[in-house]
Structure 1
Amino acid sequence: MDCVTSVEILSAELDGATTEEESRRARRHLEGCAECRLRHDRFRALHRAVRVMPAESGPDVTDAVLPALRPRRLDRLRGEAGGRARVLLRWALALVAVLQLAVALLQLTGVEIRVGAETARTTMPHIDHETGAWNAAVAVGLAWVALRARHAAAHLPVLASFTGVLGALCLLDLLTGRVGFERVVSHLPVLLGLVLVAVLALLNGPHGTPAPAARASSDTGPGAGEVPEPAEAEVEPLRSSPPPVARRESA
């Protein structure tokens, strides 16, 4: 064994990173090399000095660090603390979906809902059929989010654009007297559904699911029987014998 390899082994030995065979070979080399014995003595003295050296006291950063580690209110609601709120929101959304479906069925079955002002009681069957189909589709979407809350964010763009345009047109028609108040009131379930879906999407977080610790508490709402997505299995790295000395960093 040469001196370079011996020095590396002796340095690693102080950190407990050598095998018995490596230590035995290094000891045999020390018996015939005075220079390596001197280096070994220096290594041991330095190693002991570092281990018994008093630690320098640094500044206390507790007050600066702990506030940053405290979860925000929204993060707490996304965790276990918001489990009950998410369940209530999903049940409320399911109820809104039923109301919205009832509105659609009224329109699809031809029940008269006034389109003109109070003095005009005419109906438009084809338009009622079109709006009934839209309302039925919206009801199905709301019910799906109530069952599978992780899809809330995906429904927001269509639901928000539909509700926004519908609200603007309803306001315009009310001001110009082209629609009755009863017709406008029938659109309230859509607005309420949009609010509930938006809150669910916010509580579920950017990944569409609540925090892992809160998933169990959220499974009591609609769709509690859904199968969770399989988590990636953690693969424990295989342990092998210690690497050769040439690949080990010296202490």
Structure 2
Amino acid sequence: MKCETCREALSARLDGETEPAPPEAVDRHVTGCPACRSWLARAERLHRTILLRPAPPVPDLTAVILERTPAPPRDGWPARIALAMVAIAQLALAFAQLLGVEDHAAGHSAESLVGHLSHESSAWNLAVGVGLGWAAVRTKAAAGQLPALTGFVALLLALSAGDLVAGQVTAGRVLTHGLVVAGLVLLFVVNRQHRLRNRPSPATTADTSDFAGTETDHETGETPERPRQHRGFRRPASRHAA
């Protein structure tokens, strides 16, 4: 019997497994081989050390993990559906302006309308409707539309109030701007819901010194060093040199 086969059988015997060779032949080889007897003695000492070594104490963090686990996020469908309805109404208003239906229904004469400005207004209403609809589908896009739409609504309300007081526009025409105002409010709601859904959990932002900073390594007895946090802007990795 070779020493490799004998030591493999002895290792299996220590682990309580089936030996790959007859036990009698293994014992005869160990009796006549000083190298295998020395190997067996070292293996037995190591085996006893592993079996008698106590396991390091591990705290039960189940309650802490469950407490810090955020609740399942809600999709905020009511606000998104309402924003989609406002987008559809805004698109209908834009198409009505482009086709001239609204102007004829209001009784305005063709001479009193500036064609190019009317087309610009219709194009803007169309763009607002498309943007609101896209924000209802992809809530992440709501944040990008808020600055422009907020400035537009603020200026529009101020100018519309002045025109209404001066009698240059009817109250019905001013009320049509309520769609874009409602769209702006719903944009704020959808954007807030999106930010709440994607907000990092408290476990990632809280101080982890209670666990990592106070415990010591059981092997070396040293306190592990906390990783340095990168502050500032970090450039994205290149596709070819990640």
* TM-score with structure 2 setting the length: 0.52
Structure 2 residue 139 is the aligned partner of structure 1 residue 152: yes
Aligned CA distance change for structure 1 residues 14 and 163 (closer, same or farther; 3 Å): farther
Query: What are the ranges of 5 or more consecutive residues in structure 2 without an aligned counterpart?
Result: 105-111, 200-242
Paired with 2:128 and 2:22, the residues of 1 have a C-alpha distance of 75
Instruction: Tell me the residue number matched to 2:126.
Output: 136
Displacement after TM superposition at 1:96 (Å): 1.4
Displacement after TM superposition at 1:188 (Å): 1.5
Structure 2 residue 60 is the aligned partner of structure 1 residue 67: no
Which AA in structure 1 matches 2:153?
A: G
8 A Cα contact 1:101 1:135, kept in partner? yes
1:62-141 equivalence runs, <5 A? 64-68=64-68, 70-71=69-70, 73=71, 76-77=72-73, 82-83=74-75, 85-86=76-77, 88-108=78-98, 109=100, 111-112=102-103, 123-141=113-131
Paired with 1:135 and 1:160, the residues of 2 have a C-alpha distance of 15
Displacement after TM superposition at 1:191 (Å): 0.9
Q: CA RMSD in A?
A: 4.4
Structure 2 residue 51 is the aligned partner of structure 1 residue 36: no
Displacement after TM superposition at 1:19 (Å): 9.7
8 A Cα contact 2:89 2:179, kept in partner? no
8 A Cα contact 1:153 1:198, kept in partner? yes
Paired with 2:183 and 2:37, the residues of 1 have a C-alpha distance of 85
Paired with 1:189 and 1:131, the residues of 2 have a C-alpha distance of 18
Count of residue correspondences:
180
8 A Cα contact 1:97 1:193, kept in partner? no
Structure 2 residue 198 is the aligned partner of structure 1 residue 198: no
Aligned-pair identity (%)? 34
8 A Cα contact 1:13 1:23, kept in partner? no
Paired with 1:203 and 1:174, the residues of 2 have a C-alpha distance of 35
Paired with 2:183 and 2:59, the residues of 1 have a C-alpha distance of 56
Displacement after TM superposition at 1:37 (Å): 1.8
8 A Cα contact 1:93 1:143, kept in partner? yes
Which AA in structure 2 matches 1:90?
A: R
Instruction: Tell me the residue number matched to 2:148.
Output: 162
Alignment deviations for residues 169-213 of structure 1 (CA, whole Å, 9 cap, x no partner): 2255357x256671643521431452354256446649xxxxxxx
Paired with 2:19 and 2:42, the residues of 1 have a C-alpha distance of 22
Instruction: Tell me the residue number matched to 1:47.
Output: 47
Which AA in structure 2 matches 1:194?
A: L
Paired with 1:172 and 1:13, the residues of 2 have a C-alpha distance of 90
Which AA in structure 1 matches 2:180?
A: H
Paired with 1:96 and 1:12, the residues of 2 have a C-alpha distance of 74
Aligned CA distance change for structure 1 residues 131 and 27 (closer, same or farther; 3 Å): farther
Displacement after TM superposition at 1:166 (Å): 0.5
Paired with 2:148 and 2:21, the residues of 1 have a C-alpha distance of 74
Query: What are the ranges of 5 or more consecutive residues in structure 1 without an aligned counterpart?
Result: 114-121, 207-251
Aligned CA distance change for structure 1 residues 62 and 187 (closer, same or farther; 3 Å): closer
Instruction: Tell me the residue number matched to 2:229.
Output: none
SS in 2 for 1:111: helix
Structure 2 residue 171 is the aligned partner of structure 1 residue 185: no
Which AA in structure 2 matches 1:107?
A: Q
* TM-score with structure 1 setting the length: 0.50
